[in-house]
Structure 1
Amino acid sequence: MTLDKSLPSSASDVFSTWWKQFWGLKIPKKILHFAWRGFHEILPTRIGLEKRKIVSNNSCELCGFGGESSAHAIFWCPFAQEIWKLLELHFYMSAWAIWKERNKVTHGQHLGQPQQIVNWIDNYYGTVVSAREPKNNSKVVHKDPQEEQRHTILMVDAVVLNNTSSVGLGAIILSEDRRVRVAVCKSLKGAIILSEDRRKFSWITSRDLEFKI
């Protein structure tokens, strides 16, 4: 058996390469630091706090499981399990969000619902990805959020122009207060086809035939 020279020569080299790739991930450093602390079991879990004589009970504050480790807090706690079932996002960002949400209980705050956490992660992930995308020189138009929420009204009409083979089309877009925002009109060839369709429709109705529209 021959040794592949392209492979690391020792386990330490393997970990060195892995950590180099890990720290090169394009996500916020605070999330990478959280993942690093979780890997080395130095997050302030109930077990860790018990070892430091800060708490006397190492049970999970959410489910009561005895011996809250990093793995339990982030993966095996029923609260975390519900979130992982719903998630299809980045692993480290999701783990960090779960830990951040759990800390609300320690600080006397209310715990969010799993679907709320998923939505927050989704929005935050999108913000991070958008911030890292190359920026172009196109002008950004800032719209009034209240204006975007207002309703618009679309009115359309069509007319067959007599003695021609054209159809006149028109459309108007009105704002909620009935002000004209856009108005367009266009002439199209097609009256001959429309006339033919009308003859077919008259032939069907004159014979009391059943039809569907």
Structure 2
Amino acid sequence: MNVRDFVQKGTRKKIGNGKATNIWEDNWIPGNKDGRVTSTRPQDCTIRRVDELISGFRWRKPLVPRTFNRKDADEILDIPISISGREDGNYWLHSGNGIYTVNSGYKTLSRETTQHIVGRADEAETSSANSNGKQWKWLWKLRVKRKIKHFIWRSLNGLLPVNALVFNRTNHGDPICDGCGDQNESIEHMFFQCCRAQEVWKMAPIQWDGLTGQTGNFRVWWNAMLEASGRIEGREHIELTTNILWQIWKRRNEWKFNAKREHPWKTVNKAQQEWQEQVSAWSNEIMTPEDAGREGGEVEPVEVRSDEVQIKISTSVQEQTKCVGIGILAINHSHQVMSAWGLIDRKAVNQLQTIAEAVKMAIIKARHQQWQKITVHVPSPQLLKVIMSGVAKDIKMSTLADDINNLRALFQKCSFCLDGRLDKRCDLISDYALGILQDEEWINSQCV
């Protein structure tokens, strides 16, 4: 695969007005594997561009299910329609903001190459295929840096350039261990048998005393260690051990190439610190809105100005029908209801996208009321971060974030804050909306 094909494979069309996207040839459906439609084009079908599937900033629902198979139709109807009328663009799937960079391209290519090599190695296994499949699956799921996973993979396959391996392959150099000077430096000697490695393990917070009989073969030792994954904190112990192995290798290289000795406690400390940083980063990445709210502590009350309208939002999902009920409440500085809306949507997407759709609709309603200054209470820390940064990690959220910020510019003042859940009436409206057939609006606070 050349570079052009590689970049094209990782790029999707980001739908704006749909005029520049070919339905049948372009990669524009985020939920499909290669972004292409899987439906066979009907013989009498004359539509060619995506804008022909759109009317009034909405998908033409009778036309879409009639033209595409159910899978494609569901995926298409789930794509947010931009209300700004912007041109179609390109979105790079492997970066945090949809923009292609040489760095993101290189990292993606390296990751895919490594996974391909591992896949081929798995296919080559015979009698131990099942155990090795588990071995690789476990390795790539560990919460450690990618370079450390690759390092362990090389160690398991006997590819780490220790002295004995280099000497056997090239007949150059000295196979003797530089650390102890007593034995040939194999992978197993470097990790476990060298006196310098043993110094590190003595100070490590984790001891694998039951595996001392397996240290003659690193792959056997690694597979035996993975059996601890079912124990309490077993996964954490395996991840920390992986970082210790990495630091032993780095310590060995510092001595061999730079003649620098490092105290074993410093080696252990580096391993612990690097592992804790990676776990923390991983936890933040998968944090749910509820978790994020708890971690942030109590939400500070928002100062309400007399000339600003406070917009509160709530969403409810009916599991059986997948309908979404949206409740929108507008209150003044005296906490009196100015307007309220109950909206019904016939689809349920992921939670973050559902809330983003509700925020967009709330701002549109406020614009129709010709309010000039509003504060929108966003019920999701993750969405608030996306809105304020303008950076979304998926193509659908990127479109919604663009729309929200474009709408924001239509007001004299439009600010956002994290919803402290101080008013439960909004929740009641979203629940009520699940039972209506069409959107409803109230302007009398006594009706709410």
TM-score by length of 1: 0.56
1:72 corresponds to which residue?
189
For residue 172 of structure 2, the aligned residue among 27, 43, 55 is 55
Q: CA deviation at 1:97?
A: 0.7
Taking the aligned partners of 1:129 and 1:14, their CA distance within structure 2 comes to 26
Taking the aligned partners of 2:269 and 2:130, their CA distance within structure 1 comes to 39
Q: Could you tell me whether the CA contact under 8 Å between 1:50 and 1:57 is conserved in 2?
A: yes
- Show CA shifts across 1:100-145 (max 9, x none): 1110122224120101111211221221122122363639xxxxxx
Q: Could you tell me whether the CA contact under 8 Å between 1:34 and 1:96 is conserved in 2?
A: yes
Q: Could you tell me whether the CA contact under 8 Å between 1:46 and 1:55 is conserved in 2?
A: no
After superposition, residues 3-152 of structure 1 pair within 5 angstroms as: 11-53=128-170, 55-87=172-204, 88=206, 90-134=240-284, 136=292, 138=296
After superposition, residues 200-211 of structure 1 pair within 5 angstroms as: none
Taking the aligned partners of 2:265 and 2:196, their CA distance within structure 1 comes to 11
Q: CA deviation at 1:54?
A: 6.1
Q: Specify the code of the residue in structure 2 equivalent to 1:79.
A: R
Q: Specify the code of the residue in structure 2 equivalent to 1:19.
A: W
Gaps of 5+ in 1: 1-8, 140-213
Q: Could you tell me whether the CA contact under 8 Å between 1:38 and 1:70 is conserved in 2?
A: yes
Q: Could you tell me whether the CA contact under 8 Å between 2:200 and 2:267 is conserved in 1?
A: yes
Q: Percent identity?
A: 30
Indicate the structure whose relative CO is greater, using CA pairs within 8 Å and at least 6 residues apart.
2
Q: CA deviation at 1:17?
A: 2.6
2:331 corresponds to which residue?
none
TM-score by length of 2: 0.28
Greater Cα radius of gyration, structure 1 or 2:
1
Taking the aligned partners of 1:78 and 1:21, their CA distance within structure 2 comes to 30
Q: Specify the code of the residue in structure 2 equivalent to 1:131.
A: A
Q: Specify the code of the residue in structure 1 equivalent to 2:129.
A: S
Q: Specify the code of the residue in structure 2 equivalent to 1:55.
A: H
1:191 corresponds to which residue?
none
Q: Which runs of 4+ in 1 moved over 2 A?
A: 52-56, 134-139
- Show CA shifts across 1:43-91 (max 9, x none): 0101111023263321000101221100100111111111111112522
